[in-house]
A and B are shown apart, each in its own frame.
Chain A
Amino acid sequence: MEVLGNMSVDPLYEMAVQKLASVKKVILIASGKGGVGKSLVAVSLALALRNKGFKVGLLDLDLHGPSTGVLLSVEEKIKGDKHGLVPINLNGLEYMSLALLVGDNPLALKGDVKERLILEIFAETKWSELDFLVVDLPPGTGDETIVPLRLIGGKAVVFVVTTPSRVSISVVTRLLRLLRDEGIPVKCIIENMAYLNLGDRVVKPFGESEIEKVAEDFGIDWVYKLPLDPGLEEVIRKRESPLSSQEWSESIKKLAGFLAEKLKS
């Protein structure tokens, strides 16, 4: 018989792996930079995939500013069971966010807390059998991004969201280097606010895009451009689904169809 002391084995990691066993594919929506429309893309894509008949979950992993609940007008309360927390069901879309747990309290999280909190979120959320879990990652390339990558590994595909702005692209490029170094496949770059459709003409508020060059440099096959849609904010203020905005909805539907088709092959 032998004794091994001074250990520090945390069951959280195994619990998280176990909880993710019911999920076939995890789509990480990342940007490295805030304010590029990542949460809007995550919500819209999750809704569009659900509308196509897939079983979909949406996890808001933004530790400091979870905002997907605003976009979805969530008012339900989360409940617990023997296996942990049961995501709330929004007409077939399973949904989980820290905002469901802390309300409007500020998330004043210290650096060392973030890794454990992310593990706790994955370890305690009991998803059903899902085709897709869409994860809205927070901005940054710290623990918020690294821990989910480590945990999800082979099930993950990453969609990177940027705007055509050079400021955004410089940050996104750092994220792409991190993902390449970690061996995580980036399937798609989504360029949000790529153009504004004025009916008789199309305007590009940020000028000509460099995104194709970035995609080529990193060997990313899909570049998808989403419009700057002035109707979106009005839709959100009316507490309607982002997919109620016509042009946005059409673009996202195409993206969801494109994704579903590509992941089938």
Chain B
Amino acid sequence: MKYKSFPWFQLKILSGARVFSRYCKMHEWSIAEGIVRSLEAFAEKNSIKRFVAVEINVGELAMLDLDVLNEALKTISQEHERTRNTVFKLRIEHVTFTCNKCGCKWGLQRGLETIKGSEDLMIEDLEGGYDLPLHYMPELVYALMRCPSCGSRDYKVEGGRGVRIISVTFENGGVGEHVS
């Protein structure tokens, strides 16, 4: 792997979500598009005319940059009538891990340090940034992370796994039952 494009990597391997997210900003656009499409589908089912505000929980495990995600949402939402001028409220949902074998509890930063061969696993994007596979598929955590205390892969992941729309404020367009 070439390090020239990001010399910080050698100094601070796997030092956490904030470091990665500063360099890898492309994937957030794909997520934003998915959110807007999901809102469109939800509006269709529930006869919603326009979303005024949308609250979104963003799982810490995906290591997304909230500023970039917010910017992407603002841009993409303008292209759709029902989400034009919608206010998006994003909130990080933290993740905790509990080992089923030894009872150890840990957070994301400590867990990332257990990922072996992480340099080889990094995925390059077209802007020359590098991400862990977790950035794209947070559920791969079980394949990559181990208990920092006993090394087991048998642990519970609580919270912080995906991106979820948790509440919407909307103007109703007529008949229809709410389906969540």
Interface size on A, residues (CB 8 A): 42
Task: Give chain A interface residues in 1-60, CB to chain B under 8 Å.
Answer: 1-15, 18
Nearest-CB distance from B7 to chain A (Å)? 20
Residue A98, interface by CB 8 Å: yes
Determine if A4 and B38 form an interchain contact, defined as CB atoms under 8 angstroms apart: no
Residue B167, interface by CB 8 Å: yes
Contact of A80 among B38, B41, B131, B180 (CB under 8 A): B131
Q: A7-B168, A7-B180, A102-B143 are in contact. Are A124 and B136 (CB under 8 A)?
A: yes
Chain A 118-132 per-residue mask, 1 if CB under 8 angstroms from chain B, else 0:
001101100000000
Contact of B140 among A8, A18, A79, A98 (CB under 8 A): A98
Task: Give chain A interface residues in 59-102, CB to chain B under 8 Å.
Answer: 77-85, 98, 101-102
Nearest-CB distance from A104 to chain B (Å)? 8
Interface size on B, residues (CB 8 A): 50
Chain B 111-149 per-residue mask, 1 if CB under 8 angstroms from chain A, else 0:
000001100110111100001010111111011100000
CB contacts between A and B, total, < 8 Å: 148
Mostly, the A contact residues are mixed
Contact of A11 among B34, B126, B137, B154 (CB under 8 A): B34
Chain A 172-191 per-residue mask, 1 if CB under 8 angstroms from chain B, else 0:
00000000000000000000
Most buried by B among A8, A80, A102: A80
Determine if B162 and A106 form an interchain contact, defined as CB atoms under 8 angstroms apart: no
Chain B 27-63 per-residue mask, 1 if CB under 8 angstroms from chain A, else 0:
1011101110111011000000000100000000000
Q: A79-B125, A82-B30 are in contact. Are A2 and B172 (CB under 8 A)?
A: yes
Residue B165, interface by CB 8 Å: yes
Determine if A102 and B140 form an interchain contact, defined as CB atoms under 8 angstroms apart: yes
> Can you list 12 pairs linking A and B with CB atoms under 8 Å apart?
A7-B166, A9-B39, A11-B163, A12-B162, A14-B38, A15-B33, A80-B27, A81-B126, A98-B143, A107-B142, A109-B142, A116-B161
12 additional contacts (CB under 8 A) given A78-B123, A98-B140: A10-B38, A11-B31, A12-B34, A15-B30, A81-B126, A84-B30, A101-B140, A102-B121, A105-B116, A107-B143, A109-B142, A109-B143
Chain A interface (Cβ < 8 Å from any Cβ of B):
1-15, 18, 77-85, 98, 101-103, 105-110, 113, 116-117, 120-121, 123-124
Chain B interface (Cβ < 8 Å from any Cβ of A):
24, 26-27, 29-31, 33-35, 37-39, 41-42, 52, 116-117, 120-121, 123-126, 131, 133, 135-140, 142-144, 153-154, 161-172, 178, 180
